[in-house]
């Protein structure tokens, strides 16, 4: 088992890409999965030192994945770190109860993230095995241009949110809109669109309740998202191919 191998489990594409790029640049051997089910499949052939897992995942969530890994002699030595969007005490508590070795709140700090992971590895391994740590390799500030990611996120968000508004009177799909709202919340928070993240989180919570009386509020929140996406698009300038 390489000391610098990591499996990232994250269902939000922008977050997955960002963590992958950061860890690869820091010299880690990286694999990725967008669900716990896929992660288990990857783990049949790849034994990472660290699993970084989002807590909220479609299907089996990150906590259940952690319990599973910690209950098997084959995988219990893997360091499992939970990634979560909320700095809620209850989430932290639940992560630790599930057996996570640590807990990292999103949005992550791209400059210090690899060192943070190394610290978790260092705390677990004996000091000798981490002699080649930190500092030299990525001493330069991490400069990750997000322009293209941001623009495609905004363009896609505008298109989808308008489509969802139009579907309200016809074939509104609660599950689809809820999972899209979850992705918006996670991605927008990570790339700095705080208002979109907040609004998407409200929408996700509303749809989670699924009361028919909340449909007016769902419509209002969706319209607000259309506005926010459109405002962000104007601020971001023309979309490049
Ligand atoms: Mn998620």
What's the per-residue H, E or C state across the chain?
A: CCCCEEEEECCCHHHHHHHHHHHHHCCCEEEEECCHHHHHHHHCCCCCCEEEEECCCCCCCHHHHHHHHHHCCCCCCCEEEEEECCCCHHHHHHHHHHCCCEEEECCCCCCCHHHHHHHHHHHHCCHHHHCCCHHHCCCCCCCCCCHHHHHHHHHHHHHHHHHHHHHCCCCCCHHHHHHHHHHHHHHHHHHCCHHHHHHHHHHHHHHHHCCHHHHHHHHHHHHHHHHHHHHHHHHHCCCCC
Summarize pLDDT for 175-185 with one digit per residue, the tens.
899 989 998 99
Q: Are 80 and 51 in contact (CB under 8 A)?
A: yes
Do 153 and 201 fall within a single domain? yes
Residue 152 forms part of a structural domain: yes
Position with higher pLDDT, 215 vs 220: 220
Distance 66 CA to ligand 1 centre (A): 15
Q: Do 104 and 164 belong together in one domain?
A: no
Q: What percentage of residues in the chain have a pLDDT greater than 90?
A: 52
129 Cα: distance to centroid of ligand 1 (angstroms): 33
In this structure, are residues 201 and 224 in contact, taking their beta carbons and an 8 Å threshold?
no
Distance 56 CA to ligand 1 centre (A): 4
Mean of the pLDDT values across residues 66-84?
A: 93
Instruction: Tell whether 47 and 117 lie within a shared domain.
Output: yes
CATH number of 166's domain = 1.20.120
Pairing mode, if any, of strands 50-54 and 79-84? parallel
Mean pLDDT of 91-103: 87
What pLDDT is recorded for position 5? 96
Q: Compute the distance from residue 131 Cα to the ligand 1 centre, in Å.
A: 34
What is the whole-number distance in angstroms between the Cα of residue 235 and the centre of ligand 1? 27
Q: Would you say residue 25 lies in a domain?
A: yes
Q: Please indicate, yes or no, whether residues 125 and 20 belong to a single structural domain of this protein.
A: yes
Nearest to 13 by CA among 195, 228, 186: 186
Q: So what's the pLDDT on residue 137?
A: 39
Pull the structure tokens for residue 215. 């449909």
Confidence at 103, pLDDT banded by 50, 70, 90: confident
CATH number of the structural domain spanning residue 77: 3.40.50.2300
Cα(18) to ligand 1 centroid in Å equals 14
Q: Are residues 20 and 96 in the same domain?
A: yes
Per-residue pLDDT, 144: 46
Q: Give residue 106's domain range.
A: 5-137
Residue 180 lies in a domain: yes
Q: How many angstroms separate the alpha carbon of residue 203 from the centre of ligand 1? A: 15
Q: Look over the chain and give the mean of its residue pLDDT values, rounded to a whole number.
A: 84
pLDDT at position 119 is 87
| Residues 85 and 198 both lie in one domain | no
């Amino acid at each position: 088992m390489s000391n610098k191998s990591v499996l990232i489990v994250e269902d939000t594409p922008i977050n997955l890409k960002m963590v992958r790029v950061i860890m690869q640049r820091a010299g880690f051997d990286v694999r990725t999965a967008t669900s716990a089910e896929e992660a288990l499949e990857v783990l049949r052939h790849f034994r990472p030192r660290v699993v970084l897992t989002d807590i909220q995942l479609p299907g089996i969530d990150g906590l259940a994945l952690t319990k599973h890994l910690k209950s098997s002699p084959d995988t219990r030595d893997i360091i499992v770190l939970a990634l979560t969007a909320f700095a809620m005490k209850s989430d932290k508590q639940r992560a630790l109860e599930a057996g996570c070795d640590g807990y990292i709140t999103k949005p992550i700090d791209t400059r210090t993230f690899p060192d943070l992971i190394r610290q978790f590895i260092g705390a677990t391994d004996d000091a000798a095995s981490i002699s080649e740590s930190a500092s030299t390799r990525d001493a330069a500030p991490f400069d990750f241009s997000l322009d293209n990611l941001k623009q495609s996120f905004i363009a896609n968000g505008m298109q989808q949110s308008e489509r969802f508004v139009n579907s309200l009177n016809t074939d509104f799909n609660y599950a689809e809109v809820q999972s899209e709202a979850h992705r918006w919340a996670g991605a927008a928070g990570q790339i700095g669109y705080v208002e979109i993240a907040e609004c998407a989180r409200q929408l996700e919570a509303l749809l989670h309740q699924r009361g028919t009386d909340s449909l007016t509020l769902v419509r209002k929140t969706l319209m607000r998202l259309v506005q926010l996406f459109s405002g962000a698009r104007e601020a971001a300038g023309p979309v490049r191919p």
